[in-house]
Amino acid sequence: MLHLAVFASGRGSNLRSIQRSIDEQRLEARIAMVLSNRRDALALEYARQAGIPAVTLAGVAADELSGFILDALAANKADFIALAGYMKLVPAAVIAAFRNRILNIHPALLPAFGGKGMYGHHVHEAVIASGAKVSGATVHIVDEEYDRGPIVIQRCVAVLDADTPDTLAARVLETEHTIYPEALQLFAANRIEVRDQRTYIRD
């Protein structure tokens, strides 16, 4: 059973899909807290309405961030972090304290179309401009290098001739909502082993 802290900056559709998976007993977890760098994030609003502790980083000084986040995680007894549209870098001290226990979801097939500036519609624009025939979603472990940690699950989505960044984003998002809870469940069931920048799924 994971005690999840979900970090989100935006609308929170992945947050909601995680909660749905828990409710439908596809994911052995509970959402212990939701954290956002933005006071007005819809994800926080959802958390408040659902009675989940909602934590905002707004107003926290830069040099106090990692301590503040670690205190919030401890206070809410969170033991695993899921980044779901979180637009800020996670402080190194938090990554070190939660080694191999932080996941992120990216709306393309990493290691392509990732890294600095590759977020939201920029990703899907770049995929379409590249002429690639497939895109997809990636769940990976977060380490110190942006969008580079060991991959847990990837699933392909076709790029159609008529796709715009919006239509492709919508199709990729549906896949995100499936694979993120699946990846989290692999950790909940203790089935993931990490070796040499790769993950291996135990039976």
**Which is closer to ligand GRF, CB of 10 or CB of 150?**
10
Instruction: For residue 30, report the phi and psi dihedrals to the nearest 5 degrees.
Output: -135, 150
Residues that bind ligand GRF (CB under 6 A): 8, 10-14, 84-85, 105-107, 173, 176
Give CA–CA dist 80/35, Å, rounded. 13
Kindly state the smallest distance separating residue 10's Cβ from ligand GRF, in Å. 4
**Which is closer to ligand GRF, CB of 8 or CB of 183?**
8
Kindly state the smallest distance separating residue 57's Cβ from ligand GRF, in Å. 16
**Which is closer to ligand GRF, CB of 72 or CB of 172?**
172
Of residues 21, 64, 68, the one with CA closest to residue 7: 68
Kindly state the smallest distance separating residue 55's Cβ from ligand GRF, in Å. 16
Cα Rg of the chain (Å, integer): 16
**Which is closer to ligand GRF, CB of 126 or CB of 189?**
126
The CA-atom distances, in angstroms, between 35 and each of 47, 55, 145 are 9, 5, 21
Catalytic residue of the set 106, 121, 124, 140: 106
Per the CB < 8 A criterion, the answer to whether 7 and 84 are in contact is yes
177 is an active site residue:
no
Give CA–CA dist 72/188, Å, rounded. 21
Minimal CB distance to ligand GRF: which residue?
85
Within the chain, what is the greatest distance between any pair of CA atoms? 49
Per the CB < 8 A criterion, the answer to whether 10 and 170 are in contact is no
**C-alpha 6 chain-centroid distance:** 8
Kindly state the smallest distance separating residue 143's Cβ from ligand GRF, in Å. 16
Catalytic machinery residues: 106
